Amino acid sequence: MHTYLSLLLLFCLTVLSVTQVQAQAKNQTQTNLNDKEWVIVFNDPRPARLQDWQSSGYSKGGSGYRSALELKRFANKEAKRYNLELTGQWYIESLSVYCLVVRFKGDAADTITALQANKKVQWVQPSNEFELLSSGLTSKKEGLKQETESSGSDVEISNGLKKTRHSLDGAGVTVAIIDSAVDLSHQDFIGASHNKSTNFVTGVQGAAKTQGEKHGTAIAGVMISQTSTLLGVAGVSPAVNLESYRGCWEHPDSGFTRCNTLSLARSLDAVLKSNVDIVNLSLSGPKDDLLDRLIKRIIERGSIVVAAFDPKRAMKPRFPSPREGVLIVRAQELDKQFDSVFTAPGERVVPTPGNGYDYMHGHSVASAYTSGLLALRKQALEHRTLSAGTLNTGASNTAALKGGDVNVTNQSETHWRNVSTQGNAQGLLNGIL
């Protein structure tokens, strides 16, 4: 009898312990879900008569004004219905969806379940954070230009670029960069073709940056620097039409540059309204359904997306997701164990806000470098009698970004995007020379 009671007591204690652990886990999960922001993606909630607001303006009494009020009323109504704290909202025109960025005030899991049962909701996802991929800027000034122009593996590519200068400079090609703010007043950008600069960062971080920010200014400089100064280095494609979208912001204390789902979604949505050939994303982060759908639309339109390699996420689901039309680029000097990734030079003298210069290295630089080379390649195929079959993409495996799979009718436009994911910048340049 004593043994039976002992076993019964042990069983009860075990059940109690498991129940406590499960309760603690549930509470921890609840805390984690409530601590983060979420994106709720709704079908367009407006009546049909107001769904053409994008082209009708915002004058008071106009359909654009009424449409904005309708969306605001809808957001407030849903926030009250589901006990939400609204932190952001935006209509994504290219997907015809209305996004609310929220925090859950009540039980997060129950709220998500209730939202998913709402036929007006397409999906619910975390509001993700993303980071720009440069290993940093140094503060050294002496010999910067000489070091970049004569450094190891970059010297042959630099010499090749100099040979193209008389005939190829990227003119007629449009490149969009989604990054931090660009200092357009920098002396290196005098004479550059910069068609558009739009800020999609909201809140405290959205304050206007009159002198730009380091990362965005540097990435723009890799492509469009016009410099003839002692320190500066000419951009890879100095005559491209550059469009800059501020979807990221620099933290003043740490210097790190971050982006989030909404700021990047707004930027990509704007890109889809413009006639862009190449989209440069020198950033990485977790897989994001909303952003992936926008990237898919960009590719379907005939553009190519160039993104920086992220070694921390090489084997994980990530954004941008690897797919046809997305070229992931690794700095040839870094993470050499990943030898199946397209490589380009990742070290360069770059402009910084306030007419400054620094030495930057990282996968971000390699991404921008490749975007510039692709602009030269597109220009070459459109204006010179080059056969797509004679172009060397830098590797024997040459069909990874199948331009022919995209609905593009012009043959030269199809083939300029036909680049091997296992190639390199030197091979891409060889096909242009």
Counted domains in the chain: 2
For residue 166, name the pLDDT band (cuts at 50, 70, 90): low
Q: What distance in Å separates the CA atoms of residue 268 and residue 200, rounded to the nearest whole number?
A: 10
pLDDT tens for residues 174-185?
999 999 999 999
Give the pLDDT score at 202. Answer: 76
Q: What is the mean pLDDT of residues 210-215?
A: 83
For residues 370 and 429, what is the distance between their CA atoms, to the nearest angstrom?
Answer: 10
Whether residues 170 and 98 share a domain: the answer is no
Handedness of CA 375, 391, 364, 291 (dihedral sign): positive
Average pLDDT, the chain: 80
Predicted local distance difference test score (pLDDT) of residue 25: 35
Residues 222 and 122 placed together within one structural domain of the fold: no
In a domain, residue 144? The reply is yes
pLDDT of residue 270 exceeding 90: yes
The reply to whether 185 and 290 lie within a common domain is yes
- pLDDT at residue 233, as a whole number: 79
Last residue of a domain, one of 102, 127, 152: 127
| Higher per-residue confidence, 59 vs 115 | 115
Asked whether residue 178 falls in the same domain as residue 323, the answer is: yes
Q: How many other CB atoms are found less than 10 A from the CB of residue 313?
A: 14
Could you report the per-residue pLDDT of 8-18, keeping only the tens digit for each? 554 544 444 33
**What's 413's domain CATH number?**
3.40.50.200
Please indicate, yes or no, whether residues 277 and 136 belong to a single structural domain of this protein.
yes
Which residues, in sequence order, are CB contacts of 374 under 8 Å at separation 6+?
278, 304, 306, 416, 417, 419, 428
137 and 122 inside one domain: no
For the residues 261-269, what does the mean pLDDT come to? 96
Tens digit of pLDDT for each residue in 352-361?
999 999 989 9
Q: In which band, very low, low, confident or very high, does the pLDDT at 229 lie, cut at 50, 70 and 90?
A: low
pLDDT in tens, 371-424: 999 999 999 888 764 444 444 444 333 333 433 322 333 445 557 888 888 889
pLDDT > 80? residue 6: no
Residue 24 inside a domain? The answer is no
pLDDT band at 209 (very low <50, low <70, confident <90, very high): low
Asked if residue 191 and residue 122 are part of one domain, the reply reads: no
- More confident site: 354 or 162: 354
pLDDT tens-place string over residues 66-82: 788 889 999 999 999 99
Q: Are 65 and 195 members of one domain? A: no
pLDDT (tens digit, 9 = 90+) per residue, 35-49? 899 999 999 998 876
Per-residue confidence (pLDDT) for residue 372, from 0 to 100: 96
| Residues 166, 109 share a domain | no
Q: Is residue 19 part of a domain?
A: no
Q: What is the mean pLDDT of residues 209-213?
A: 74
Residues 76, 155 within the same domain: no
In a domain, 180, yes or no: yes
Q: Supply φ then ψ for residue 362, to 5 degrees.
A: 145, 175
Domain extent, residue 54, equals: 36-127
CATH code for the domain in which residue 83 is found: 3.30.70
- Is residue 30 one of the residues assigned to a domain? no
User: Are residues 312 and 355 both part of a single domain?
Assistant: yes
Q: Give the end of a domain, one of 127, 158, 179.
A: 127
**Do strands 283-286 and 278-281 pair parallel, antiparallel, or not at all (unpaired)?**
unpaired
Boundary of a domain, candidates 127, 153, 175: 127
The answer to whether residues 315 and 417 belong to one domain is: yes
Q: Give the pLDDT confidence of 214-226 residue by residue, as tens digits.
A: 999 999 999 999 9
Q: Which three-class secondary structure state does DSSP give residue 379?
A: helix
Compute the average pLDDT of residues 326-333. Answer: 94
C-alpha span between 374 and 379 (Å, rounded) = 9
pTM, whole model, 2 decimals?
A: 0.82
294-319: per-residue pLDDT in tens?
A: 999 999 999 999 999 999 998 899 99
